[in-house]
Each structure stands twice: as structure tokens, then as C-alpha cells.
Chain A
Amino acid sequence: MTFKNRKRLNRFIVLMIVLVGMVICLFPIYEMVSTSFKYEVDAFSLPPKWIFRPTFENYRNVLLSNGFGRYFFNSVVVALSTTFFSVCTGALAGYSFSRFKYKGKKLLIVFTLLLRMIPPVILVIPVFVIWNSLGLANTRIGLVLVYIGLNLPFNIWVLKTFISEIPRSLDESATIDGCSDWMVFSRIILPLIAPGLSVAGIFTFRIAWNEYILSLVLTNRFTRTLPVAVSLFLTDAGTEWGKITAIATITAIPAFIFTFTAAKKLIMGMTAGAVKG
């Protein structure tokens, strides 16, 4: 076999492996989306019906079901406000950590890194107890507060890295021109770290939108979010897989949108910290 042919063969094998990987990766998602558009007869038929008559019946049932609109609204409000507040406070702290020297800073940085690792489930009991005594239980504000805290360490970390990459001479000359620290932050730093803000924003939104266990414990039927609603559909609807996959697909929509519009930023966020550069 000539060298060129061998190289071609190698490429072919690699391509085959990638295709198999893609099929494995995508099949469960395809199964969810396609089942949500199937009538029950088609969803359960074996051998599977690869070609079927699509229906919106499941979506109509879900959208018209009691509470769905409220859960969807709660999810949007909770995820958006978490994102806004967590990214803002994260940027402020990241600016402080990257630009100033002061006592206790190193300790604070290590501390936030440690907090980043705290599993949400550890917070469930104490936050449940404390929020009950503060009157924050079963409120959206209570849930948003926990989510801001959960996301802050990552946001501080990512934004601090982005700010550190901006040359200091920029803020120094602005300070000489009479800018206060706040003006340096808002007029110079913030616009320059826009890519970092969107990485932090997407990650925060994703966690707030997807989080389940805290929302399950800290909300009631008026304030609960979509993931909790999905799990309730699973127990209530029993084997109504059409409805369940429909609401699951709706819950996954932001994931689809982010993946196909901001893949590069997502990879940047995922590899931040683990890989240099």
C-alpha cells in the first residue's frame, strides 16, 4: 500500500469513528424530539417508525396544561435575573481582585475558588431552614439569591482572567485624566470584557435554567421552575411519553440555541482554567 493510500485509509477510519460518535451523541436527543411530535401509537410502535405523521398534539396538551405558562415564566424570570445580578457582581469583584493590591485579597480568591466546588445539595437543608425563617422560602427572590451565589465564584474567576488581560496602562492613563475607579470600570473595563461577560452570562443562564434540586425544595406550585415541572409530569403522567418528551424538549430549547449560536464561547468557558491560553 502506498503512503498516500494509507493516509487516506486512516482518514476514512477516523471519519467513521467520528460519525459513529455523532450518532451516539445525537440519537437520544433525536429520540426525545421525535417522540414529542408523535402520536402515541407511533411513539410506542416497534420496530420504530422512522417516518411518521407529525403532530403538535403533545405540545398543545403541555402548553394548555395547568400551570405550564407559570412555570415557563418563572424559569425565564429566575434565569434572567440570576444572570444579570451574578454577572454584574462577578465583574465588580473580578475588577477588584485583578486590579488592586490589598490585605486579605489572596485569601478571598482562594476562598471563592473553594466555594465554587460546593455541591448545591449541601445547601439544600440549611438554605431551606434559613429561607423559611427569613420568609424567603417559596419565593422567586429566594431562589434567585441562591443561584447568584452558586454562580458567583465561576463568574468572578472568568471575569478576573479577562480583566487581567487588559493592559494596565489603559486604566492608568484614564486615572491620570481624572477618571475615578468607578469610571475606569464602567467606561473602560466593561466594554473591553464584553466577550467575557457573554461567556459568564451563558454559563450562569444555563445553570439557573437547568438547576433542579434547590428549585424542588425552595419553591411551591406558584414559583417552581421548568425542570421541576418536567419531573412532576414524569410522575403524574406516568407513561404519557409524548407529553413528557414535549415538555423536556421545551426545557432543552435554550441549550439548543446556545449550542448552535455560541459554541465557541461555550468551549472557551469550559476550557477556562483547565487549559492555558
Chain B
Amino acid sequence: MFSNGVMKRNKSPYLFALPAIAVLLLVMVVPVASGIRLSFFEWFLRDIRKEPVFVGLWNFVDLFGSENFQTSIRVTLVFTISVVCLELFVGLVLALLLEDGLPGLRFFRTVFILPVMIAPVVVGVVWKFLYNPSYGKINYFLSVLGLKEIGWLSDPHMALISIIITDIWQWTPFVFLLLLAGLQGIPSDLSDAARVDGANYLQNLIHIKLPCISGVIGITAVLRLIDAFRGLVVMFIMTNGGPGVSTEILSLHLYKTAFTDQRLGKASAVAVILLGIITLLSIIFITKNMKDET
């Protein structure tokens, strides 16, 4: 009723949203649309002044037949699934341990956000140094413990694991913070009531705590999944996708197809596939969020 009056009086709601919408159109919507269009064309970076040539679905056919692309899909799946599962598990265990609080919890929390705040490039540099075969500290610690030294980034079987370890280091604190906030949001009378009824810790965990935070766990998982699909900088710095293509995640495959192989059309086809995956995940995320909002 009152807001109706305001609406009739002026166009300001549109004016307030206009700058944001204009920027989003210019730097996101138009580029994404032109990227999708480009995926149907053959266009080389070195011939960027020439017109792109229409090739229909050839780029996609080419991609699905390419061994590097298939490997890249596999690398992406292994990477995203393992980081999300491991980070959720470790984060949940930590959150359950620390939920009742500790002296100095605030300080620990502060320390835990540092890895998330630091630039991916810096993370890549630091871990490349730690993994260095001749003077890296990780192999040194292994040798102190009497274990065999490992070719972290040079061994094709280890390189992806090394990158997964780095990702776990960087992102588990984030998962931990989200889950801790979720646990602390559970009304305490729920657990108290269960305890009075004689539930032990495990029963309390399975029947009360986990169901209460299942929403938070789901959202955290989707957020991490989306981030894991986006990330490429750490790989770019540490291994550049190598050895071979053993750490070439989809987004890095996209970049290298465009700027190393110079095939802009084919790289756009990778972008379309990546976009499809992300959109699917986002829709899950948004429906979850919208449900909470109403």
C-alpha cells in the first residue's frame, strides 16, 4: 500500500539498480554470450585480426575425441571430489571437537582464516618451495622421520595428490568455520533434552547434530565444489598442469588451449562445458538458499 504509492511516484527502483545491471551486462552477460557463440567457430589467437570461421559443433566433437580433454575431465573429478570430501570430513571433526569452545578460540579462528585470505599465486609459490626435492622442508621432515623422500611435483602419480594437499591446507579452515557456525546455531535445549533422555554422544551426534546442520553441510559442499571447479592458479604456478597433463584441471585446460595452443574456438567450447557444470551446481545452491529465505 505505501510502497505502491512510492512505486507510482517515480522510477527510482530501476535507477538504483541500473549501474549494477549495466556493469553486469557489459562484463559478464555479453562476454559469456559471445563466448558461447565463439565455441561454434574456429579462430586462432595468432590470426586474431582475421574473421572467425563457423565450424558448427566441430569444436565439441574435437574435444570429446581428444585424450587430453578426457584426462582433464578425470583430473577435475578426482580433484574436486577428493578435496570436497576430505575438507568436509576434517572440517567437521575439528568443528565437533571445538564446538564447546576453548580458551583462546578467537585467536585460533583468526589464524585459521589466514590461508583463505592469501593470494592463490602466493599459496602456489610457498608450496612449490615446500615441495622442492632438494631443499624443501617437507622432504626434510620425511627424512628426519626416516621415511623415503618423495618427488612431490615431479612424480606423475604424486603431483595431483600434492595439489590436493595444498588445497586441503588452504580451504579446510574455511569449511571448519562454516560448520562451526552451523553447530553453534543449534538451539542448546535440543542437545540438553537428548542428554536428559539418556542419549550418548554418538546418538546425539547422529540424531540431533548432523540432521540440524545438514543444510549447512550441503551448502558448504556446493560452495567448495564450485570453487574447486574455478581454481586453476595454484596448479598453474606449481606444475603448469604437468607432469604431462596429470594436474591439468578443466579450467587450466581451457587457459592452455586458448593461450598455448592458441585455439580460441576450442577453448570456448571448454568454457561452455565448464559453464554448464557450474550452472547446474549454482542452481542447486540457489534453490537451497531461496528455500531458506522464504
Which residues of A are interface residues toward B (Cβ below 8 A)? 11, 14-15, 17-18, 21-22, 24-29, 31-32, 35, 43-44, 46-48, 88-90, 92-93, 95-97, 99-102, 105, 108, 110, 112-127, 129-130, 132, 145-146, 148-150, 152-153, 156, 172, 175, 180-182, 185, 206, 209-210, 212-213, 217, 227, 230-231, 234, 241, 244-245, 248, 251-252, 255-256, 258-260, 263, 266-267, 270-271, 273-277
Measured in the bound complex, the distance between the Cα atoms of B237 and A185 in whole Å is 44
Measured in the bound complex, the distance between the Cα atoms of B228 and A257 in whole Å is 26
Instruction: Report B247-280 CB contacts with A as 1/0, cut-off 8 Å.
Output: 0000100110011000010011001001100110
Contact residues in A for B196 (Cβ distance below 8 Å): none
CB–CB B173/A31 < 8 A: no
CB–CB A274/B220 < 8 A: yes
B31: contacting residue among A92, A113, A126, CB under 8 A: A126
Q: Is B57 at the interface (CB under 8 A from chain A)?
A: no
Contact residues in A for B27 (Cβ distance below 8 Å): 123, 127, 145-146, 148-150
Q: How large is the interface on B (under 10, 10 to 19, 20 to 34, 35 or more residues)?
A: 35 or more
Measured in the bound complex, the distance between the Cα atoms of B128 and A261 in whole Å is 29
CB–CB B23/A255 < 8 A: no
CB–CB B137/A31 < 8 A: yes
Contact residues in B for A175 (Cβ distance below 8 Å): 6
Q: Given A172-B2, A252-B119, check contact A119 B274 (CB 8 Å).
A: yes
Contact residues in B for A181 (Cβ distance below 8 Å): 6, 10, 12, 16
Contact residues in A for B108 (Cβ distance below 8 Å): 18, 21-22
How many contacting A-B pairs (Cβ < 8 A)?
Answer: 287
Contact residues in B for A263 (Cβ distance below 8 Å): 106, 109-110, 113
30 CB-based A-B contacts, threshold 8 Å: A15-B102, A21-B94, A21-B112, A28-B130, A32-B125, A93-B17, A96-B14, A112-B20, A120-B230, A121-B254, A125-B264, A129-B48, A130-B34, A145-B27, A150-B28, A152-B24, A180-B12, A209-B119, A210-B120, A212-B119, A230-B122, A234-B128, A245-B126, A251-B122, A259-B110, A259-B113, A270-B174, A275-B178, A275-B182, A276-B292
Contact residues in B for A258 (Cβ distance below 8 Å): 117
Contact residues in B for A102 (Cβ distance below 8 Å): 7, 13-14
Q: Is B111 at the interface (CB under 8 A from chain A)?
A: yes
CB–CB B118/A29 < 8 A: yes
Tell me what chain A mostly uses at the interface: helix, strand, loop, or mixed. Answer: helix
Q: Which of B62-70, B73-81, B202-210, B282-290 contacts A (4 or more CB under 8 A)?
A: B282-290
Q: Is B232 at the interface (CB under 8 A from chain A)?
A: yes
Contact residues in B for A153 (Cβ distance below 8 Å): 24
CB–CB A108/B119 < 8 A: no
- In the complex, which residues 146-177 of chain B have their Cβ closer than 8 Å to any Cβ of chain A? 169, 173-174, 177
Shortest distance between the CB of B266 and any CB in chain A (Å): 10
Shortest distance between the CB of B227 and any CB in chain A (Å): 9
Query: Of residues B13, B258, B264, B271, which shows the largest number of chain A Cβ atoms within 10 Å of its Cβ?
Result: B13
Shortest distance between the CB of A209 and any CB in chain B (Å): 7
